[in-house]
Structure 1
Amino acid sequence: MALAAVNGASSSCYQPAAQALLPQTVPAEARRAALALSRIAGSSAAIVGASLGGLLVVAVGPGWGLTVDALSFALAAVPFALVRVKAAPPSPRAGIVHELRVGWREFTSRTWVCVIVVAFCFLNAGVTASFTVLGPAVADTTGIGRTGWGLAVAASSLGAVAGGVLSLSWRPRRAILVGCALMGLMARPPLLLALAPHTWLLVIANFVAGLGAVAAAPAFLWR
């Protein structure tokens, strides 16, 4: 639990920094394509990595598999360290309390931002629970089995690749509205787990959900 807390704290630092790095290294007119390519690469790596991870666990066991996993994160720091961006000049700061107050005022002054954040609180809770707890539990107690659940998760990654390809050229007029509608596709896998836990239905639903989630990402990140 302590290590999980440390991991969560480090992720809260990593995620904003990593998202801010891309627009600093890519021209403004190419950012949408760069984001899509980044999502495609990440989803493709998830598919290949999951397969290699399974082979590694079979070959040397889960303990050594987790060791290799930890080392891979350390190695990932090397290419990040090699990225060079133009440093922004330091600006005078009024203190963290003042910055939090200003940030909260800006956040609450935009209704659409508040609504989306609240909606994603529920969405992330539901999706995380269905993929990490409910999905494996249902798979073990129904005809889906662990192999079937593995196929369903892999289908989500394949859908994410397809969504990345789609977002390279697709630019809807009302991006935020379309993005929110696409995120609604994430509700299908949990509903199927509850009402119709069949392997191929889950494979199709996860593929569609992964496609929608990644295709919607540019609408929120580049607003």
Structure 2
Amino acid sequence: MTNSPGVNSATAKRSRLPRWAGRNYVLLTAATVITNLGSHGALIAAAFAVMESGGSTGDVGLVAAARTVPLVLFLLIGGAVADRVPRHRVMVAANALNCVSQAVFAALVITDGATLWQMMLLSALGGTGQAFFSPASEGMLMSSVTGEQASRAFALYRMAMHGAGIGGAALGGAMVAALGPGWVLAIDAAAFALAGALRAFLDVRHIPAREPGAGLLADLRDGWQEVIGRPWLWSIVAQFSVVVAVIGVSEAVYGPLVARDELGGAAPWGFALGAFGVGTVLGALLMVRWKPRRLLYVGTLCVFVQALPAAALAVAAPLSVLVAVMLVSGVAIEVFGVSWITAMHQEVPEEKFSRVSAYDWFGSVGLVPVFTALAGPAEGAFGRSTALWGCAVLVVVVTTAVLFVPDVRRLTRREAPAVEPAEPPVADPVR
């Protein structure tokens, strides 16, 4: 019997994809590209919306903080929930919350009715959605690939994610100027709606059914035991609680000030941040081909490079040097990022992916508000250059400490035969 043209076309399209790129992986990557295109533009739009409503620089910070606080508060709960119920349901619900909050935000801005408390509340709802979404998304990604091609799959996913982020920021800035911040927020709401629709068709039938647990707190304790039982895991989470906070202070507080006083304003600083984004894409592209055997050791060595941007800002390096440093820093952090998620995929049981990921996320963002709040007093007490050198030294110290953990140096990649993900049945795509 001859196949129909539609079947032949679908088969040909499927054959062009790698064997490990199953339906879930393709849907996850497409949805992530869509949301990153919208969200990176929305970050710019939200700041301009606050300023256009008459808000000050401090008000912009309050709206940004309103998003960060619930993200920190609800991350661990989000991870436990994502390991108790099908992860795609958590992701879709979080996307729905983000869609509604951004749509209301957009409507208020477009009609000139947005007040500071409303913008803070809507940003807080967006942060809450992100807190539940992130652990579920990372767990779903790790469960979507198997075998020795996992590292390549993660690298391609992250390359698409970072590329969309760069494009979203560029498009967002242009669209804010052309259409106004309200319409950019509306586009972000539509992007969440479309991405949520795609994620609704993720298939979870290959994931074993969860056994009834003893409760949410018991799940959180279980996840904590999973973390502290692996020295390589808790040590790197502790390391990155400092590294991410230091990078945040350098890029969000001191970097713009150095750019204003030494480099000529916002445009050069934006160019330097763009170079970092390009570096992350190049780093992901490198990791598509390169599979270091001692993946955590290699990844941790690359973290030392994250001290260079703070050092370059401390000496007010010329723009060409700063751009080169930011580019290399982006490459290095992506080598670590792919190595890290590959190690998590290899070592952590599937049914605990999201809880462990939540502790990882919590460690990464928990100290950011503290370091940001201390940035001003540190500059006043020691001077900006000294404070930046302190940031660089902190990165070197905590990264050196991690290398003393034997498991970080010794954990090796385990090669396994590649397994093609099973195609889900046509009927009943959502459980």
1:85 counterpart residue number: 204
Residue in structure 2 matched with residue 111 of structure 1 by the alignment: 231
Contact 1:158 1:210 survives alignment (8 Å): yes
More displaced 10-residue stretch of structure 1: 103-112 or 51-60: 103-112
Alignment partner, residue 30 of structure 1: 149
From 154, 170, 181, the equivalent of 1:62 is: 181
For the residues of structure 2 that align with 1:48 and 1:101, how far apart are their CA atoms? Answer: 40
Q: Distance in 1 between matches of 2:141 and 2:186?
A: 29
Counterpart Cα distance in 2 of 1:137 and 1:68: 31
- After superposition, the CA RMSD in angstroms is 2.0
- 1:48 counterpart letter in structure 2: G
Distance 2:264 2:275 in 1: 14
Q: Which residue of 1 aligns with 2:28?
A: none
Change in 2 beyond 3 A, CA 1:188/1:73: farther
Once the two structures are superposed, residues 79-99 of structure 1 have per-residue CA deviations (whole angstroms, 9 ceiling, x without a partner) of 222322325313121222333
Where does 1:1-223 land on structure 2 (aligned, <5 Å)? 1=66, 2-86=121-205, 87-223=207-343
Residue 4 of structure 1 and its aligned partner are, at CA, apart by 4.0
Q: Which runs of 5+ in 1 are unaligned?
A: none
Structure 1 distance, partners of 2:323, 2:186, is 30
Q: Which runs of 4+ in 1 moved over 6 A?
A: none
| 1:54-94 Cα shifts (integer Å, max 9, x gaps) | 22122122343333334333332222223223253131212
Q: 1:187 to 1:37 in 2, by over 3 A?
A: same
More helix by share: 1
Q: Aligned pair in 2 of structure 1 residues 22, 100: CA closer, same or farther (>3 Å)?
A: closer
CA deviation after TM superposition for structure 1 residue 164, in Å:
0.7
Superposition deviation, residue 112 in structure 1: 2.4
Question: For residues 154-182 of structure 1, what are the alpha-carbon distances to aligned partners after superposition, in whole Å with 9 as ceiling and x for unaligned?
Answer: 11111111101111121222211111111
Give the fraction of aligned pairs with identical amino acids, expressed as a percent. Answer: 35
Contact 1:164–1:214, Cα closer than 8 Å, also in 2: yes
Q: Larger C-alpha radius of gyration, 1 or 2?
A: 2
Stretches of structure 2 that go unaligned for 5 or more consecutive residues are 1-65, 67-120, 344-431
SS in 2 for 1:222: helix
Q: Are 2:284 and 2:338, in contact at CA under 8 Å, matched by a contact in 1?
A: no
1:34 deviation in Å?
1.1
TM-score (norm 2): 0.48
- CA distance in 2 between counterparts of 1:89 and 1:197 reads 55
Paired residues, what number? 223
- After superposition, the C-alpha distances for 1:107-129 in whole angstroms (9 at most, x for unaligned) are 22332222211110001111122
Q: 1:3 to 1:141 in 2, by over 3 A?
A: farther
Which of 49-58 and 153-162 deviates more? 49-58
Determine if contact 1:158/1:207 at 8 Å carries over to the other structure.
yes
Give the deviation of 1:202 after TM superposition: 1.5
Q: Label 1:21 to 1:214 Cα distance change in 2 as closer, same or farther (>3 A).
A: same
Partner of 1:6, secondary structure, is: helix
What CA distance in whole angstroms lies between the structure 1 residues aligned with 2:317 and 2:172? 26
Q: What is the distance in 1 between the residues matched to 2:189 and 2:307?
A: 32
User: So what's the TM-score if we normalise by structure 1?
Assistant: 0.89
